Chain A
């Protein structure tokens, strides 16, 4: 999930993944969730924001890949939609699992349709697709079909289930591990994960599922701006 950092003077700077890559234009998907994004939503067409990057590793499509499974939850769908576009161009079959709390929060349904992808959908409240967890849909697909690689981005407990399920079937996987990032270029250490100490802004955020499964921090806790550890809670 190649990411860049956006800056609003005297407000803050935040990392975003790239949701659209259309030749000379890059697009970001921004949800209004806090102080920075609220300010960004006040901006008009033509206003300028600071940008630096891109930083970090990306989802990759190894040579010879024929069929892949993409599992996104909530805002995590953004980089996977970009990956889906790239895969379709290369003639790769894409099975896309799109999960959200509720129908109105399902992202990119039209965009996926335009790519001739019919996403498998689950919502927590059953307002669209199956009522329940998208990970259950993904597990069934992994049982039924043979994939060259599974890709996941979203809430970390969801990611962990996908990575574990893929490993259970002997399927390779790639996962984006989002951590609090300050510098973005591998100096400050805010995004180092246990046990490897690898920096998710530089050696991540996209890592192999195999590697993620060896990290005691993955799916269990993350560090906030101060470095204080906070556990992930199952919802």
Chain B
């Protein structure tokens, strides 16, 4: 049985990928995730300047998943370059993840961060809880997506993935804009919302930023629909992200048209061993259903 995954020119030992924003703050944290079975890792997103992010509480869980308003805390591009300068022997392919307030900043990020050992780059246009970035800066439109993608494309030959918002409507048009501007793949999706949870004892929103992106189980069916819609709109590969917690969920996303799956919030439910658990469950399912490789089921929901 073969659970290796091909995403364009990249080959992954298995289709599970550490999603951006989760762990991924240091080379050591990536190695820890690879040691626990991930097929690839995405670093925590990096901006030009250091950002402390929002005050705590910035992550809370509820019965449907998690809300976060971390606010892109990161040490800035110079320190990130040093941190991730040597990714040989870390255990697998590593995606850089870059953010910017406009196309020029994305372009500068691509130039500054990408020389190094990264295997690919993800540009995030879809954070729902950081002023100046993502959907709060209007980066989720087809026009803005095209402009930013072009700017990054001009600066790198690495495989370029655009991470888009589940709140983009119609989402296929955003994916098309990325494809037309030279993206090699789509990461679908970022957290949705934002949402809010109020503590009824004090009558106050719990998150310090009041609102946060919703991830986890509640997001999964929306993510699956987004992947399905994007598959219909573009030819480039899709990394499916949103509530993947079990092997079943990964199989579902591949059936919708994803070639690999990101895992983030699932670590809260199943620990850092979730990558191996999801792979084991996929293999069990494939064995039972006589599926030899993931290509056999890829996009089958469209047939």
B8 at the interface (CB under 8 A from A): no
> Complex: how many Å from CA A193 to CA B27?
10
Contact of B32 among A5, A7, A196, A229 (CB under 8 A): A196
CA distance A228 to B109 in the complex (A): 18
Contact residue among A50, A183, A198 (Cβ-Cβ distance under 8 Å from B59)? A183
Please determine whether A192 and B56 come into contact, CB atoms closer than 8 angstroms: no
Tell whether, in the assembled complex, residue A182 and residue B59 are in contact, meaning their CB atoms are under 8 Å apart: yes
Indicate if B119 sits at the interface (CB-CB under 8 A).
Answer: no
B208: contacting residue among A12, A48, A194, CB under 8 A: A12
Q: Is A189 a contact of B44 with CB atoms below 8 Å?
A: yes
Q: Is A187 an interface residue (CB 8 A)?
A: yes
Docked CA distance A5–B53 (Å): 18
- Asked whether, in the complex, the Cβ of B29 is within 8 Å of the Cβ of A226, the reply is no
Given A194-B28, A196-B28, A197-B29: A189 and B56 interface contact (C-beta under 8 Å): no
B residues within 8 A CB of A199? Answer: 23, 29, 272
Alpha-carbon gap, A228 to B199, bound state (A):
32
List A197-224 residues whose CB lies under 8 Å from chain B. Answer: 197-199, 223-224
Residue-wise interface mask of B (120-155) relative to A, using a CB-CB cutoff of 8 A (1 in contact, 0 not)? 000000000000000000000000000000000000
The answer, yes or no, to whether A14 is at the interface (CB within 8 Å) is: yes
The interface on chain B, measured as residues whose beta carbon lies within 8 A of the other chain's beta carbons, has a size of 44
Name the CB-closest residue of A to B203: A9
| Given A12-B55, A185-B268, A198-B32: A48 in contact with B201 (beta carbons within 8 A) | yes
Indicate if the CB atoms of B25 and A225 lie closer than 8 Å.
Answer: no
Find the A residue at minimum CB distance from B272: A186
Which residues of B are found within 8 Å of A10, using beta-carbon distances? 204, 208
**A-chain residues with CB within 8 Å of residue B202 when the two chains form the complex:** 9, 48, 50
CB-defined contacts of A227 to chain B, threshold 8 Å = 25-26, 44, 73-75, 79
Interface residues of A in 167-198 (CB under 8 A from B): 182-183, 185-190, 192-198
Q: A197-B31, A229-B79 are in contact. Are A186 and B208 (CB under 8 A)?
A: no
What is the minimal beta-carbon distance from B88 to any residue of chain A, in angstroms? Answer: 15
Q: Which residues of A contact B271 (CB under 8 A)?
A: 186
Judged by a CB distance under 8 angstroms, whether B22 is at the interface is: yes
A10 and B229 alpha carbons, distance in the complex (Å):
39
Does A124 have its Cβ within 8 Å of any Cβ on chain B?
no
Q: Which of B33, B66, B73, B201 contacts A225 (CB 8 A)?
A: B73
- Tally of chain A residues near chain B (CB < 8 A): 33
Question: Shortest Cβ distance from B233 into chain A, in angstroms?
Answer: 31
Docked CA distance A187–B216 (Å): 12
B76 interface contact, C-beta 8 A: yes
Q: Mark B65-97, 1 if CB is under 8 A from A, else 0.
A: 010101001111001000000000000000000
| A13 part of interface (Cβ distance < 8 Å) | yes
B50, CB-defined interface residue at 8 Å: yes
> Which residue of chain B has its CB nearest to the CB of A7?
B57
Residue among B24, B26, B55 making CB contact with A194, cutoff 8 Å: B26
CB-based nearest A residue for B204 = A9
Q: Whole-angstrom distance from the CB of B83 to the nearest CB of chain A? A: 8
| CA of A225 to CA of B51, assembled, Å | 8
How far does the Cβ of A174 sit from chain B's closest Cβ, in whole Å?
21
A15 to chain B, nearest CB (A): 9
A187 pairs with B23, CB closer than 8 A? yes
* Cβ contact within 8 Å between B204 and A192: no
Are A226 and B53 in contact, with the CB atoms below 8 A? yes
Q: Closest 4 A-B residue pairs measured CB to CB?
A: A197-B32, A197-B28, A189-B23, A9-B204
15 cross-chain CB contacts under 8 A? A10-B208, A12-B208, A13-B56, A182-B56, A182-B59, A183-B58, A187-B22, A187-B264, A187-B265, A188-B58, A192-B26, A196-B28, A197-B27, A197-B30, A228-B76
Given contacts A189-B25, A226-B52, 10 further A-B contacts (CB under 8 A): A9-B199, A12-B55, A13-B56, A185-B61, A185-B268, A192-B28, A194-B27, A197-B33, A225-B53, A226-B53
Residues of B within 8 A of A (CB): 22-33, 44, 50-53, 55-59, 61, 66, 68, 70, 73-76, 79, 199, 201-202, 204-206, 208, 264-265, 267-268, 271-272
